[in-house]
Chain A
Amino acid sequence: MSAASALGACSGVQSALDPAGHEAREVASLFWVMVVGAAVVWTVVIGVAIYATRLRPDPHEDIVGHRLILWGGVAFPTVVLAGLLVYGLGLMPKLREAGEGLRIDVSGEQFWWRVAYRPKEGEPVLSANEIRIPVGERVEFALTSPDVIHAFWIPSLGGKVDMIPGRENRLVLKAEKAGVYRGACTEFCGASHALMAFDVIAMDKPAFEDWLGSRPADPARAKGRDLFTLHGCGACHRVGGTEAKGEVGPELTRFGQRKTVGAGLLPNTPENVARFIRETDVLKPRSKMPAYGALSPDDALEIARWLGSLK
């Protein structure tokens, strides 16, 4: 029962102890094995210390001490550590198997994620701040950064890898359960390092294939769209099917499908999006996007509604 409650305490969309992927599950098992071992070792060592300082009436012979050093200090740790090392080394290549076809390029940028799906066949699909993957397939992530070092981590699925300017790292993850998980940047990357997260949606494979292969709906004609154009948003953002072709900021095609705005910052509601447009500098310190405080709340809301309609 205590184990069950302990496991309950570990659940969460961002928890390494609530694994939903092959790599995370292997590591979580390793962790629990080590926890049990560590608990035993700690109890014995501290037990000996308390016995030696508080409980024992008379000094033991020196030979007892020598034996303690030899067996407790040398022989036992050597054997245990060797076993653990062999376990860990055996695991390392298994956690870096090759992918099975789908490759997703992710670039960490201050302070958001640029995403490009590169299926084996077909055109790349661009996105940002949200990643969809099929369940049951080893997906390969190609990770880099144009500005500073970030790190890409989806605790529920597996370990993290740094995104280093000038280098391209790779990470292979296999989701085992459909669901929504949360990833975060784990390498300190500047003022808004804390505000750099993303959602991961693991979907059944057919649903994923449909999603990836389908064309986005044509963007609606709306007041929000005109305001978006008027205020020059298209200089930085791209919206497929419109004249907005910017590549500096996050891709906004299908923005309406995303769960959050601002890289995991706020739930994707029109009110939050409008707020993000007007108060970027407050919500996300040192973000490259200027705050459009001069925009009236109504206009911002119009833009937000239009963005929300992009699916």
Chain B
Amino acid sequence: MIASTRANLITLITAPTIWAIHFLVCYLSASVNCAKALTDARVFTGADWPDVTGARIAIAIATLAALAAIAWSSRQAWGHWADGDAEPPYDDATFDDRQQFLGFATILLCGLSFIGVIFVALPAVFIGDCR
């Protein structure tokens, strides 16, 4: 999360942490939305399920924010990774190789987290109510 000219273990886990926060926002907003709608008017209301529009908006905003934050983290890691110039395997006992290794691993984690955020946002596209 923290901006740093030096790659470290915190910059490494920034992107997956963002994924985790995004995941919680999605899950909690949808489930609180439905739980609160359903505790009052319980199940058998025929086809009239409470909808999750509020949660969908929250998820859309959270998704855009998360993707932007991950992009920012990967931009920073790109710098640590010598702007993409460094070839693997980064196995010298030097500051540069350490920096490039962490930069590259961070970029990979950003990629995974990016995919993860999109996957987790997909339910809100396909499911619009609390059925």
Using a CB–CB distance below 8 Å, which chain A residues touch chain B? 66, 74, 78, 81-82, 85-86, 89-90, 92-93, 96, 98-99, 103, 140, 142, 168-170
Chain B proximity of A237: nearest CB distance (Å): 28
Q: Give every chain B residue within 8 A of A89 (Cβ-Cβ).
A: 122-123, 125-127
Known: A78-B115, A82-B119, A85-B119. A92 touches B43 (CB 8 A): no
Shortest Cβ distance from B88 into A: residue: A66
Interface: B44 (CB within 8 A): yes
Cβ-defined contact, A98 with B122, below 8 A: no
Contact of A93 among B42, B44, B119, B126 (CB under 8 A): B126
Q: Give every chain B residue within 8 A of A103 (Cβ-Cβ).
A: 44
Cβ-defined contact, A140 with B131, below 8 A: no
* Measured CA separation A98–B42 after assembly (Å): 14
Cβ-defined contact, A170 with B43, below 8 A: yes
Chain A proximity of B85: nearest CB distance (Å): 16
* Measured CA separation A92–B125 after assembly (Å): 12
Cβ-defined contact, A92 with B126, below 8 A: yes
Q: Identify 13 new A-B residue pairs, CB closer than 8 A, beyond the known A92-B126, A93-B128.
A: A74-B111, A78-B115, A85-B119, A86-B122, A86-B126, A89-B127, A90-B126, A92-B127, A93-B129, A98-B47, A98-B131, A168-B42, A168-B43
Contact of B122 among A66, A74, A85, A170 (CB under 8 A): A85
Interface: B46 (CB within 8 A): yes
A-B contact count (CB 8 A): 36
* Measured CA separation A57–B30 after assembly (Å): 55
Interface residues on B, range: 10 to 19
Cβ-defined contact, B43 with A93, below 8 A: no
Shortest Cβ distance from B128 into A: residue: A93
Chain B proximity of A67: nearest CB distance (Å): 13
Chain B proximity of A161: nearest CB distance (Å): 12
B2-38 interface mask toward A, CB cutoff 8 Å, 1 = contact, 0 = none? 0000000000000000000000000000000000000
Shortest Cβ distance from A66 into B: residue: B88
Chain B proximity of A229: nearest CB distance (Å): 38
Cβ-defined contact, A93 with B122, below 8 A: no
Chain A proximity of B12: nearest CB distance (Å): 18
Q: Give every chain B residue within 8 A of A78 (Cβ-Cβ).
A: 115
Q: Give every chain B residue within 8 A of A170 (Cβ-Cβ).
A: 43-44
Chain A proximity of B34: nearest CB distance (Å): 13
Q: Give every chain B residue within 8 A of A99 (Cβ-Cβ).
A: 46
Chain B proximity of A156: nearest CB distance (Å): 23
* Measured CA separation A99–B129 after assembly (Å): 16
Q: Give every chain B residue within 8 A of A168 (Cβ-Cβ).
A: 42-43
Shortest Cβ distance from B47 into A: residue: A98
Cβ-defined contact, B44 with A140, below 8 A: yes
**Residue among A66, A82, A89 having the largest count of chain B Cβ atoms under 10 Å:** A89
User: Which B residues between 109 and 131 are near A, CB-CB below 8 angstroms?
Assistant: 111, 115, 119, 122-123, 125-129, 131
Known: A98-B47, A142-B43. A93 touches B115 (CB 8 A): no
* Measured CA separation A203–B125 after assembly (Å): 38
Cβ-defined contact, B46 with A98, below 8 A: yes
Chain A proximity of B8: nearest CB distance (Å): 25
Q: Give every chain B residue within 8 A of A82 (Cβ-Cβ).
A: 119
